[in-house]
Structure 1
């Protein structure tokens, strides 16, 4: 056959299927009997195969034997999820949702009256035994007409919360949808509500986090926007919002923060009040942390910049504005003494619990819920211990202050927190001389340095991590370090050579002695040996806030901020053998809709028991043979009670601390130098109570330790001993204290070492076990000599009686 005939044969085979060949069924491997050429037969076979495949696919992919092929399952899926069915389902669901929304819209009216939460009720606060502490909740609200609020001030609220307020339909569909989905998934809602929605939620509905409430909020907001003017809605919003300080509405807020009526507010003041609505407690200037003050200023700038963007404020006028610092708050009646501090601290803790448990979306909403009233709150505060702590502060400190005679006495602030280490319960709290006179709670403020009370954290990190010295010797209480003042630390990328207090050179000393005498140079080297990142990690595990701290050697001096509440938690964790203790003020809280019980204050093991117990053992040396000796060891009420603790004095004597514990009670006492004159900067405590100016530092071993001892030994029901699993430290053998090194640059405050200083930390060696024989002087001096090393400039003169251990480091 020629090529042309072959081509025609293939073409004929491609146009029609080959006839069935019975002979092909007889023997699959035998040649066909007809005389058709092989090429043509091949073409017919291929065409027949393709046709058979198509028929098989249309039949669902059944094979020759009648079984299901792999394509069968895919075919059913394609038939089940065809584009017509998917589109039909989607359209059906959409119609159903629209129909349901129409029904909800038709059946949900705008309420005629405000919700029950808008009618403020009293909160009831009780001691741990159920006895009444106080009630609060008197309504502080006075509605004003929008016409009485300057137009630029009105614009500050729109600029802060909802720039599209005058143009939108009253709702943010994207934000509402996100809130509904988060509620369904148990994640809590996000921001994004319009002014209209916020007004509806605050005034007509409740704060509960349910899908029904959110849908009602959406419907009522749409209706309200259609039926009422924007001015009506804005007036309702600024009159119903909570601004902090117990103030509901702009008139109450204007009085609370600036002592003026709403019609006298400036644009700058209005911008601050508008900024407050995001976080009233956090942004209240009188009580805000440094971070809170920074954030509210950023928010204030944001509001004004938005006003410029919307042409509501001239840029030149905006550029000339200064932040309007609010006036000091006035406490509500019934909040005098310590009551106001306790109420405020309890409210703050409850608000955090409401957010943590998903009852409230945000801190702002939680604060509004608590301020709305109706809560029955039982605190862990024990009435007897609370009274004893107040009495101790008065007897040991405030009764000796005379600000008329000595202006510096008016700058002394005291704060204290007492915690049960076994339960985490805050059993007593001292926030200041009087809530109606000093609004800031000194027990919870975090803006002062804890100073040398941080040193036990460094030792805890060393023992827990199994750290070693520069000579590769494992660190223990007996490790020898060079206590020379201003000695550069070895192994740090950052140069650091801290000065000991009064520039005393101690020479070679053990870690135990360094803790007793609070030697800066030793703990700076110790921190570098451990690794400052590990030290800060341990501090965070123990309960301090180290999130924004840099891991630099200077942190070994306790230069970060901390509160007595935080430090009580750190030491309670040590007392609890390394198991985390989170101080908790609230025992229980409930209202008609919610019951809140705090999470277990006792957490997981954050450092090993051996490390925690070893630190406790070392800290007994501070009391028995160190800077707290006179105030604690020789206190006639001690009666043999075992005590572990640490003193602290910060840079320029702006704060003085004593945080210490028995097996059953942990108490942190802090004294803070705060100017009595606004804006209340930090100032020195030196010279207060008549101590010699320039020499008479108020040290942790003085008034703070005296307050601690008077309180602790006064409420102790029994003498107890520490149950320690350790073989090191002063609690298991006498601590070592030597004489000062030859030729110290200043007289030592306490009992320094006799050994010769080395150029760098030496290897571990066995120290002498000879205990200190120095007896304390019988009578206190008229001043407080030096305590532990200050982080500031050295004193120009040594204390008059440096060996008097009544007032130690």
Structure 2
């Protein structure tokens, strides 16, 4: 039988039945899956979902109608009140609607080029951008750009700024309807008139005035491109307050707008190539913000914005400030109206009333800033931001770009006491510890020079001097060595706990000279923590903030113990010496208004006389006053204050201390005394000279406690004016060894004692 016949026989005999069953079984399985996922069913499902989506969209389109508009115009302004409830300021929306015909065509095109190049041809929506925004909202990624001009106009005019899926869907539907019912010109005009541009400016007309002092109809293409670029982040891109990064980004955005105009054929490439960036004018406050009101209002807004971000009510400061400036808030500040007037009067009588720019051009460069805080509550009771918010936009009370100089020295001593630090020879650092006070003495660490040898003022050599005396005379060389003895990182950590912003600072000995930036408000907070016996005080301007039904919860300004009470109280005790026998004695100690009031404080004068400070306190009031040299012409660089007000040099013990004294002694009420707990006594001896010459180590404690005031005092302390050299070095040892315990005394001033002819004659300091 051939093979073909055998095969046919097997087939007839059913030999392939089993295999057929196996194949049939496999086929059946596959066909079951195929039956479940056939391309027809997949397509049908897809079409069904699409139909459902379309149906839902149709229903939404029919249900959602264009609401009544102009919601932004109905928003009320903000009301700001003093702590006693009286009105400080009222601030409404700064907006003036203009017709699109009043805006030059090229400026109109600049806005379109910035936000939505397809504006004139699209249907009013960007489905991709909207879908992306919905997905980001659902996934918690925050706000998302990509909306058309029509959508942004709808959001500004008909809806809210909230980031929710329902709001985005409404925006989509309403945008489609608005695009059908309104002309593109009307939509563009609405968008330009309702957008927020920063500087409290709503609408193109207010923005044109605020940034360029012109009407909208007079804007150039360059200026219009800047305003269009500004809308992406108005508070961050405002040239007057933008960070270096913000300035870089807005320049790039400006280029982007103009390049898009060229690409769309709306601007000639040759003309574009010749354009330069139009730097905006300095901000000018809205009516009613003159004097100190504007500084207080703006700082209150920023403090509230920080709280909104912290509580999750806003994603970032940009969004929070926008929310606040839309209005509807009643904000009460802790400012005491009486103390505020007293501070303003003190600055006027002790400083600004004496400035004469016509006679001395440098007088135009002198700026004052001050902040006053209650150390028991943290309330900011008074603030001086500058001559006038309308004329000088930068708040000198909160700016942190000037060096605090020697007002940083108490932070070094606080760190030494808190850490139980010792000198290089192992001697505990206390008020009576001896240091070598010679100028330019190399700072050493475990016998190795660290490459830092700071000068004392006028290169004065003090020889062996106590910590108390070094604080009184503000001896740089002593505190530079002390900083290394403690450890600079520990010094910065302590300063940070007390309230200074030390994040990111390099822990190097040069920081002992107060070379970082700080603001009067910041320094007032740090000293308030010392005055509050080491419990953290965060200066707080806001008393309350309400918006319709919402009350913002504010944190307690007084926090936990950040350094020990003994360390804080010892620093306070030492700082009384600066007033009683140091660089602030003429302006504060001998002030006829003092009336026995106990005072602690520290003067400071920065390198090249660009800033001068006095930060001082009584048990109930801490005030920091700073004078800053700032060129009165843009770009307002820091400049020295030599020869201002007819003085060779502006020092912390002069005009800043005079302002402080008039304000504090006029505002303090009854006389108070410090309640100090310190092993070194509630009133550390301000001046004395040890009986023995210390060994050649950077510091030591005398082996025998001096028993009475030295019989001889140098006839003249070092002059502090740059042009003079001290005639006698105060490091000379008295010829007679003390043998009895001295009373608490102070050394007479160098002019022989008593009140000088001019009790407010500035005393030179570091």
Q: Under a length normalisation based on structure 2, what TM-score does the superposition of the two structures give?
A: 0.80
Q: Is the 8 A contact 1:581 1:602 kept in 2?
A: yes
Q: Is 1:702 aligned to residue 654 of structure 2?
A: yes
Instruction: Give the drift of 1:676.
Output: 2.1
Aligned 1:538-617 pairs, distance under 5 A: 538-617=494-573
Question: How far apart, in 1, do the equivalents of 2:486 and 2:46 lie?
Answer: 62
Task: Go from structure 1 to structure 2 and tell me whether the alpha carbon gap of 1:714 and 1:142 turns closer, same or farther (over 3 Å shift).
Answer: same
Task: Go from structure 1 to structure 2 and tell me whether the alpha carbon gap of 1:102 and 1:712 turns closer, same or farther (over 3 Å shift).
Answer: farther
Q: Which residue of 1 aligns with 2:668?
A: 716
Question: How far apart, in 2, do the equivalents of 1:589 and 1:135 lie?
Answer: 14
Q: Which residue of 1 aligns with 2:4?
A: none
SS in 2 for 1:397: helix
Instruction: Give the drift of 1:386.
Output: 0.9
- CA-to-partner distance for each residue in 1:86-126, whole Å, 9 max, x for gaps? x99999999998876664444222334221x3335332221
Q: Which residue of 1 aligns with 2:285?
A: 331
Q: Which residue of 2 aligns with 1:659?
A: 615
Q: Is 1:177 aligned to residue 134 of structure 2?
A: yes
Question: How far apart, in 2, do the equivalents of 1:415 and 1:590 lie?
Answer: 29
Q: Is the 8 A contact 1:469 1:763 kept in 2?
A: yes
- CA-to-partner distance for each residue in 1:611-642, whole Å, 9 max, x for gaps? 22222222122111211112111222222222
Q: Which residue of 2 aligns with 1:304?
A: 255
Q: Is 1:526 aligned to residue 526 of structure 2?
A: no
Unaligned runs of 5+ in 1: 1-81, 739-752, 778-783, 788-794
Task: Go from structure 1 to structure 2 and tell me whether the alpha carbon gap of 1:656 and 1:271 turns closer, same or farther (over 3 Å shift).
Answer: farther
Identify the match of residue 140 of structure 1 among 83, 95, 109. Answer: 95
SS in 2 for 1:237: helix
Instruction: Give the drift of 1:180.
Output: 3.1
Q: Is 1:395 aligned to residue 332 of structure 2?
A: no
Question: How far apart, in 1, do the equivalents of 2:222 and 2:703 lie?
Answer: 67
Q: Which residue of 2 aligns with 1:345?
A: 299
Q: Which residue of 2 aligns with 1:683?
A: 639
Instruction: Give the drift of 1:210.
Output: 5.5
Instruction: Between 307-316 and 444-453, report the one with greater CA deviation.
Output: 307-316
Instruction: Give the drift of 1:658.
Output: 0.6
Unaligned runs of 5+ in 2: 1-35, 729-748, 752-760
Question: How far apart, in 2, do the equivalents of 1:489 and 1:582 lie?
Answer: 34
Task: Go from structure 1 to structure 2 and tell me whether the alpha carbon gap of 1:474 and 1:314 turns closer, same or farther (over 3 Å shift).
Answer: farther
Task: Go from structure 1 to structure 2 and tell me whether the alpha carbon gap of 1:455 and 1:176 turns closer, same or farther (over 3 Å shift).
Answer: same
Q: Which residue of 2 aligns with 1:458?
A: 412
Instruction: Between 469-478 and 439-448, report the one with greater CA deviation.
Output: 469-478
Instruction: Between 610-619 and 639-648, report the one with greater CA deviation.
Output: 610-619
Count of residue pairs the alignment pairs up: 686
Q: Which residue of 2 aligns with 1:762?
A: 699
Q: Is 1:249 aligned to residue 203 of structure 2?
A: yes
Instruction: Give the drift of 1:555.
Output: 1.8
Aligned 1:24-39 pairs, distance under 5 A: none
Q: Is 1:404 aligned to residue 355 of structure 2?
A: no
Q: Is the 8 A contact 1:584 1:601 kept in 2?
A: yes
Whose Rg is larger? 1
Instruction: Give the drift of 1:283.
Output: 4.2
Q: Under a length normalisation based on structure 1, what TM-score does the superposition of the two structures give?
A: 0.76
Task: Go from structure 1 to structure 2 and tell me whether the alpha carbon gap of 1:446 and 1:231 turns closer, same or farther (over 3 Å shift).
Answer: farther
Q: Which residue of 2 aligns with 1:786?
A: 720
Question: How far apart, in 1, do the equivalents of 2:665 and 2:66 lie?
Answer: 62
Question: How far apart, in 2, do the equivalents of 1:366 and 1:343 lie?
Answer: 15
Q: Is the 8 A contact 2:193 2:203 kept in 1?
A: yes
- CA-to-partner distance for each residue in 1:417-459, whole Å, 9 max, x for gaps? 1111111111111112222222222112222111111111222
Q: Which residue of 2 aligns with 1:732?
A: 683
Instruction: Give the drift of 1:402.
Output: 1.6
Q: Which residue of 1 aligns with 2:440?
A: 486
Task: Go from structure 1 to structure 2 and tell me whether the alpha carbon gap of 1:232 and 1:462 turns closer, same or farther (over 3 Å shift).
Answer: farther
Task: Go from structure 1 to structure 2 and tell me whether the alpha carbon gap of 1:454 and 1:733 turns closer, same or farther (over 3 Å shift).
Answer: closer
Task: Go from structure 1 to structure 2 and tell me whether the alpha carbon gap of 1:230 and 1:140 turns closer, same or farther (over 3 Å shift).
Answer: closer
Q: Which residue of 1 aligns with 2:763?
A: 807
Q: Which residue of 2 aligns with 1:32?
A: none
Question: How far apart, in 2, do the equivalents of 1:757 and 1:314 lie?
Answer: 80
Task: Go from structure 1 to structure 2 and tell me whether the alpha carbon gap of 1:190 and 1:309 turns closer, same or farther (over 3 Å shift).
Answer: closer
Q: Is the 8 A contact 2:584 2:602 kept in 1?
A: yes
Task: Go from structure 1 to structure 2 and tell me whether the alpha carbon gap of 1:103 and 1:722 turns closer, same or farther (over 3 Å shift).
Answer: farther
Instruction: Give the drift of 1:229.
Output: 6.7
